[in-house]
């Protein structure tokens, strides 16, 4: 019988391997993708399975625990967390929606399949006997070079009312570019993937409008809310790592004849305020996610209003935490500019997370529209 791991046990595993995560974080930045040692560690810890349904061997963490888990993982290694939450979201979606034949292909002999995923429908499929033929180009396929499969969204070619399908293809049947040359999230390997007229059997084709086969109401949640816990967990872990590294740096750093940074009253004031802002964002996030989890664990789906609240909370917490890092980075001086500095890596990655479309401040528009409709 499968015994899922608790979030506490999962976080303990991350902490036990902190040294390996820390070493491979710098190597991932240099390579632009996860090094082999990091890929092996993530498979060993079964990172892709933390969100997947119990029925396929997953831990089925809900939103608040996803947030806690990916906060811990991004604190240790941002590449592992960013690629990892993409892998976890994809494996969980596959585990919830695939039929038996598809499960055997993906999970049958692999306890932790690595799956890249792109939600934007930038490819097409053509229905044929026994499956579809898939063609297209998908950008931002995080962690794709180490993946076993890619979960890609496509629209039906040539149809008057084209259908949307999620198509799972073996990565070895695709072509991956070396085009991930960026200033943030450098190690995530979010390369472009191309598929050219590849046959995919029906067992590996999903209709996103159909109800999930297993896993419960969490898998009926809209995309942005579905990834909110893991996405914000990444941001908060990176920002807390920045705060802890800055505290260490400030106690050792002297600028000219002005003494240690840690002894400056202005810095003490702003640093204390900054940590309170991080703590406030974290507490707000946990509250929002736990409220959503209570609905899901009671067997109900989230309403559109609940989903809007979760996504808006994610956007606000992301913005608040990244702004805190921006403000405090100025105190660190030129020493923080070196590529060897963890401070500059955290600064860049915090702002990289803000650029993700699920954290867009358009969430405020939608939530504000909903609030105003209540008073109309």
pLDDT at 375: 76
Cβ neighbours, 10 Å, residue 109: 8
Per cent of the chain over pLDDT 70 is: 99
Q: What is the CATH number of domain 115-206?
A: 2.40.110.10
Is residue 359 very low, low, confident or very high in pLDDT (cuts 50, 70, 90)? confident
Q: Comparing C-alpha atoms, which of 142, 215, 137, 132 is closest to residue 168?
A: 132
Gap between the Cα atoms of 266 and 262, Å rounded: 9
Token digits of residue 170: 């073996």
144 near 193, Cβ under 8 Å? yes
- Summarize pLDDT for 317-330 with one digit per residue, the tens: 999 999 999 999 99
Equal CATH topology for 7-107 and 221-374: no
Mean pLDDT of 71-90: 98
37 near 76, Cβ under 8 Å? no
374 against 134, higher pLDDT: 134
List the chain domain ranges.
Answer: 7-107, 115-206, 221-374
pLDDT at 1: 59
The 131-141 sheet, strands edge to edge? 175-176, 191-201, 131-141, 115-128, 149-156, 164-170, 205-206
pLDDT beyond 90 at 374: no
Least confident interval from 128-132, 251-255, 279-283, 294-298: 251-255
Is residue 256 very low, low, confident or very high in pLDDT (cuts 50, 70, 90)? low
Gap between the Cα atoms of 340 and 22, Å rounded: 12
Mean pLDDT of 85-94: 98
Q: Comparing C-alpha atoms, which of 43, 82, 90, 50 is closest to residue 66?
A: 50
- Summarize pLDDT for 41-68 with one digit per residue, the tens: 999 999 999 999 999 999 999 999 999 9
Report the residue count for the chain. 376
What are the DSSP E strand ranges found in the chain?
115-128, 131-141, 149-156, 164-170, 175-176, 191-201, 205-206
Token digits of residue 213: 């086969």
86 near 32, Cβ under 8 Å? no
Instruction: State which CATH number among 1.10.3720.10, 1.10.4160.10, 1.10.540.10, 1.20.1420.30 fits the domain covering 7-107.
Output: 1.10.540.10
92 near 128, Cβ under 8 Å? no
Secondary structure of 231-285 as H, E, C letters: HHHHHHHHHHHHHHHHHHHHHHCECCCCCEHHHCHHHHHHHHHHHHHHHHHHHHH
Is residue 299 very low, low, confident or very high in pLDDT (cuts 50, 70, 90)? very high
Gap between the Cα atoms of 34 and 78, Å rounded: 10
Cβ neighbours, 10 Å, residue 223: 16
pLDDT beyond 70 at 103: yes
Give the global pTM. 0.95
Token digits of residue 322: 């990244």
88 near 47, Cβ under 8 Å? yes
Gap between the Cα atoms of 288 and 314, Å rounded: 9
pLDDT at 259: 83
As its CATH architecture, domain 221-374 has Up-down Bundle (1.20)
């Amino acid at each position: 019988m499968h015994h899922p791991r608790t979030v506490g046990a999962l976080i303990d595993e991350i902490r036990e391997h902190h040294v390996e995560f820390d070493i491979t974080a710098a190597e991932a930045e240099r390579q632009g993708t996860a090094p082999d040692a990091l890929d092996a560690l993530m498979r060993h810890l079964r990172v892709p399975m933390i969100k997947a349904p119990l029925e396929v061997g997953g831990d089925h963490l809900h939103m608040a625990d996803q947030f806690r888990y990916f906060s811990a993982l991004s604190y240790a290694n941002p590449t592992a967390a960013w690629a990892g939450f993409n892998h976890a979201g994809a494996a969980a979606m596959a585990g919830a929606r695939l039929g038996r034949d598809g499960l055997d292909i993906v999970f049958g002999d692999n306890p932790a399949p690595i799956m890249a995923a792109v939600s934007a429908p930038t490819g097409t499929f053509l229905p044929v006997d026994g499956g579809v033929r898939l063609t297209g180009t998908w950008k931002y396929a995080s962690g794709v070079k180490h993946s076993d499969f890619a979960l890609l969204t496509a629209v039906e070619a040539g149809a008057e009312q084209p259908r949307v399908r999620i198509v799972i293809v073996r990565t070895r049947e695709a072509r991956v570019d070396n085009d991930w040359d960026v200033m943030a999230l450098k190690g995530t390997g979010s390369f472009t993937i191309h598929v050219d007229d590849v046959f995919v059997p029906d067992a590996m084709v999903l209709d996103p409008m159909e109800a999930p086969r297993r896993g419960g109401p969490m898998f009926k949640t809209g995309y942005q809310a579905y990834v909110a816990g893991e996405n914000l967990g990444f941001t908060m872990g990176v920002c807390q790592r920045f705060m802890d590294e800055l505290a260490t740096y400030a106690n050792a750093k002297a600028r000219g004849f002005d003494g240690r940074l840690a002894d400056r009253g202005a810095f003490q004031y702003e640093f204390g305020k900054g940590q309170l802002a991080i703590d406030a964002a974290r507490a707000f996030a946990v509250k929002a996610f736990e409220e959503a989890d209570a609905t899901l664990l009671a067997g109900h789906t989230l309403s559109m209003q609940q989903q809007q609240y979760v996504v808006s909370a994610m956007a606000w917490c992301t913005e608040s935490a990244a702004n805190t890092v921006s403000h405090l980075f100025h105190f660190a001086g030129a020493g923080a500019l070196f590529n060897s500095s963890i401070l500059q890596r955290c600064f860049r990655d915090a702002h990289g997370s803000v650029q993700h479309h699920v954290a867009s401040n358009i969430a405020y528009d939608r939530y504000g529209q909903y609030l105003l409709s209540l008073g109309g």
